[in-house]
Structure 1
Amino acid sequence: MDKLWIAATLMSLLLFFLGTGVWVALSLLGVALVAMLGFTSSPAGSVLATTTWGSSASWTLTALPLFIWMGEILYRTRLSQDMFTGLSPWLQTLPGRLLHSNVIGCGIFAAVSGSSAATAATIGRISLPELSSRGYDERMSIGSLAGAGTLGLLIPPSIIMIVYGVAAEVSVAKLFIAGILPGLVLMALFSGYIALWSLLNPARVPQETETLSLGEKLWRGRLLIPVVLLIAAVIGSIYAGIATATEAAAVGVLGSLLLAWASGSLSVKTFMDSLLGATRTSCMIAFILTGASFLTVAMGFTGIPAALAQWITGMQLSPYALLAVLTVFFVLLGCFLDGISMVVLTTSIILPAVKAAGIDLLWFGIFVVLVVEMAQITPPVGFNLFVIQGLTNRDILYISRAALPFFLVLVVMTVLVVLFPGMVTALPRQMLGG
């Protein structure tokens, strides 16, 4: 009971900080300091120093600013406009038109980055200004980006799948393959909601004034070729084993610069603007990650995640009841922790209960990814919401309201995976056996 009281106190304090306009990273750091100083006997200063170094001195994280820089180059040169010009004729017959570009763009980029934050930040840099300039509804633009940005966790390669695979001793290759079909279904659900919303709110979707023949669509479609080739090069270098994610990100930056130079839209000004823009966004995300890492460690010292997980394990629930409780548990943890930290802190404690309930650990890995995706956009303190707030300078409550329908779509997707487990397990067993 004491742990629940501590958790409620820290949650209230975090909401107070955020509600009064304190920077997200400073809010996380402040709550972590209160947790360390008020509820543990550990040295807060030493833990903060080691955590800050540990969270920033990571080779894996170097891919994040590179992918963001690639997006900045595409955004600040003619390439992003060309991409939307080439994509527009093919989407104009769909209800919602270019709003689907967030879903398509995030789905493609998720296969490159493996990071939810990088996916939301990179695609957001390109899509939000274009959609705004074309008169699309801002709330739907932001909401669709928040929802589709979570695809970075589900569509392989995914960092969180690697973490879970190691912790649960499940084949990472099988997890990657298992995420493909649910990822495609989730993209379809996001697009389906956008189409339904557009049909119900036709006045809030700009009308296309052009009627193009197939030949004209193909001619405009040629503008997509440079960006498609760039993405294919980045994805191909990863899947062919030629490059790591970080090396592929460097390939993406170099390719973006070459394409921008070839299109004649790369200048000293656009180069410096893209570099400074990527620096600002990367620093913002890195600062939030530092605060989240310190809060993760502080929560570990208080024993709250372990206590909650052990409490759930001791309830001896049926499989469906266990999954329902775990969904709520992970969504609540998402108010405090990033996705990888949630998996690291809780998997070893929860897995015995999952095994005892007869739940397939491969399937459970995808289930965990989905509920962590939900936690990333849980109003009002999901991590993706903070990233988009940094891009838009909008109030966090406004972004939360925009993301809420897509949070509910993720709930529907989670229910579908529970009802139809073959959606997860069929493809890896067919391809790899076992």
Structure 2
Amino acid sequence: MRDPLEWRAGDGPLAAWLELVGERLAGPQPDGYVVRGDVRWPDQPYGVVLAGGLAPAAVAELLTAEGVDGLYVRTSGGRRFAEPHLEIAPTTEPDLGPDGPGVRILHVTPAGVPAGTVPLVGRIKAPAELAGWLGRLSPLLPGGMPGFEWPGTALAEPLGVTLLRRRDTVLLSLQPLAAAERSGTDAAFRLILGSRADALAGHAGLLGSPAVLEERAPSTVRDLARWLGELAAGWGSGPVPRPGLLAGAAPLPRATRASVRRIEDGEAELMFRRHGRPELWARGPASEVSRWALPLLEPAVHEEAPAGSPRRLTAWLERVGRAVLGGPAAWTVDGLAAPLAAAELAGWLLAHCPGRAVAVDRVGGGGLTLGGTRTPAGWVTVTGRRAR
């Protein structure tokens, strides 16, 4: 199905397409549109204004005269949250290096702040409000956007959401609203959802649970299991097993904050921030979260490796290997030709990373990596995969 935010020669009058884009995204523009470009690189700075104050018909005339045969719309955040950026750019652009030819690049922007019938930003206080904002994106998508029936329960923290459209992908950026209002889209984001435009409707359905949109503060493995269970229920995954009595009571590192950080083409990435320690990341298909996130219920995955004792370090490596991989791990180390068993890796870590706080850094994709593996010569990557 044709993407409404792309135009190619033969699709119909360019002026009509520009009018439609203007109605949906730009809104009334009393000062018209600005066409920027560059005729040489690096002799002239990028962004030379070629024409301003143009109506869509005049923009179409200028682009047609330049021989432009394909355009698409891209959006980004502005310096202020309420002032997103809208740009119409050629589908194909020349690759201009330092010795490139004098080829004109043309970008069209509204002179004022975009304010069309489809909002590029939204202020979200509940999942139901996010569902309403997503529904208004329907005219921008090849297959439209279905209606989502999401709860109206208030989120723990209001969010700002911004539509970031690229050439081949669409990103939805969600960030704490207070930070967004204060610092614009430069504020730290809470969650990014990425997808092709024609698949966005399906992937956006993964955002409907408060567990996805909120940052949680689990203090024990049992708390973490409840959060993972909420994610699994919202994403149509199987149930998350309850941890045993001792494992469930195990404390997580101080000030642990758990959140869904990124969803990309149906794969989710979870992040765990801890006071005074690096983050722990886990990634896998959202619809299978109860499988690939299960190792997170093993307390050893959240612990730092015991220092000083080869025997205790070996036992820890064996525990995290079994938890993540379901069996013994074969450990690979940058610069070493052959994989190591747990006892061999323990000896290597004690010899080459003395005094370093080693811990699990990433889980997913059939393996795990360790963080804190810095030698006197620099950082090395240590990866564990199921031993054959």
Q: What is the TM-score of this pair, normalised by structure 1?
A: 0.21
Q: Which has the higher helix share?
A: 1
Is the strand fraction higher in 1 or 2?
Answer: 2
The structure with the largest alpha-carbon Rg is 2
When normalised by structure 2's length, the TM-score is 0.23
